[in-house]
């Protein structure tokens, strides 16, 4: 009995497993579409009722799937795995929303979007992504630490140049961090910009540094992916 259930729920290489995986994937996509439809204005009562019934059915199926995966895993370790946590996060909002009459917690229904991550566990491509991140994990940690340091220095620098000229915009180093983030990521919303000569020169340097910061993690991951494909 347990072996048969494993062939269906856990092992997606069998015919039954592939069919089960296809059903789950289809329900995930449909549940996301239904969630989006719920946000449309002026929906009829019949449509809302149908969406509620469909939501209830999906959550029950996802809950049963989660329980089966936990019970069929060794020492129930699926409950503490990455995808196990994604599964439980995907279904918690339904029980919170129906178990409590607190309208303010309806924001937790957004967590249903985590169902998108459930699709990844049926794709072999996610293994390549995980391997790529593991390959350059230490380099990425060093990069993000260095980026945080540059981010702070950028905020301090622009505060020094612009505070006296624009005290309302650059009130403090913490307020200047927003400018540093948008500039280093080369987004530049235009809500905060330098007007002094020193601030403009400083911003030019930061923009060029930002171009390099964006390219570094992309290059590291591209190299890791390339190594992974060569191994195969």
Give the pLDDT confidence of 37-92 residue by residue, as tens digits: 888 888 999 999 999 899 889 889 989 989 998 888 887 888 888 778 878 877 87
Residue 162 tokens read as 């612009």
pLDDT band at 28 (very low <50, low <70, confident <90, very high): confident
pLDDT band at 103 (very low <50, low <70, confident <90, very high): very low
Total domains in the fold of the chain: 2
Three-state SS for 175?
A: helix
CA-wise closest residue to 179 among 164, 196, 201, 162: 162
Residue 129 lies in a domain: no
Residue 43: give the domain boundaries: 2-123
- Residues 151 and 203 occupy one common structural domain: yes
- Residues 9 and 110 occupy one common structural domain: yes
Give the contacts of 126 (CB within 8 A, at least 6 positions apart): 120
- Residues 117 and 169 occupy one common structural domain: no
- Residues 94 and 202 occupy one common structural domain: no
Residue 148 lies in a domain: yes
Q: How many helices (H) and strands (E) does the chain have?
A: 9, 0
Give the contacts of 171 (CB within 8 A, at least 6 positions apart): 163
pTM (2 d.p.) = 0.57
- Residues 65 and 160 occupy one common structural domain: no
Residue 167 tokens read as 């005290």
Three-state SS for 41?
A: coil
Report whether 162 contacts 199 (CB < 8 A): yes
**Average per-residue pLDDT for the chain:** 81
Report whether 86 contacts 111 (CB < 8 A): no
- Residues 89 and 142 occupy one common structural domain: no
Residue 18 lies in a domain: yes
Residues 153-175 have pLDDT tens digits of 999 999 999 999 999 999 999 99
190 class by beta-carbon count within 10 Å (0-12 exposed, 13-18 middle, 19+ buried)? exposed
- Residues 32 and 72 occupy one common structural domain: yes
What pLDDT is recorded for position 160?
93
């Amino acid at each position: 009995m347990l072996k048969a259930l494993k062939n269906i729920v856990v092992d997606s290489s069998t015919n039954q497993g592939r069919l089960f995986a296809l059903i789950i994937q289809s329900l995930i996509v449909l549940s996301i579409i239904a969630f989006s439809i719920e946000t449309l204005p002026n929906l009829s009562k019949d449509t809302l009722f149908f969406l509620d019934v469909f939501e209830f059915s999906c959550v029950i199926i996802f809950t049963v799937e989660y329980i089966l995966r936990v019970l069929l895993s060794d020492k129930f370790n699926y409950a503490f795995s990455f995808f196990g946590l994604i599964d439980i996060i995907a279904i918690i909002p339904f029980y919170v929303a129906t178990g409590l009459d607190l309208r303010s917690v309806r924001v937790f229904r957004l967590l249903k979007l985590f169902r998108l991550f459930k699709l990844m566990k049926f794709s072999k491509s996610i293994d390549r992504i995980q391997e790529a991140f593991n390959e350059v994990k230490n380099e990425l940690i060093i990069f993000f630490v260095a980026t945080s340091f540059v981010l702070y220095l950028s905020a301090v620098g622009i505060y020094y140049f612009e505070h006296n000229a624009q005290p309302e915009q650059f009130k403090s180093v913490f307020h200047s961090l927003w400018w540093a983030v948008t500039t280093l990521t080369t987004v530049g919303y235009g809500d905060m910009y330098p007007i002094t000569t020193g601030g403009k020169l400083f911003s030019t340097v930061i923009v060029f540094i930002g171009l390099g910061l964006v390219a570094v993690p992309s290059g590291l991951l591209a190299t890791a992916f390339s190594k992974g494909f060569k191994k195969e």
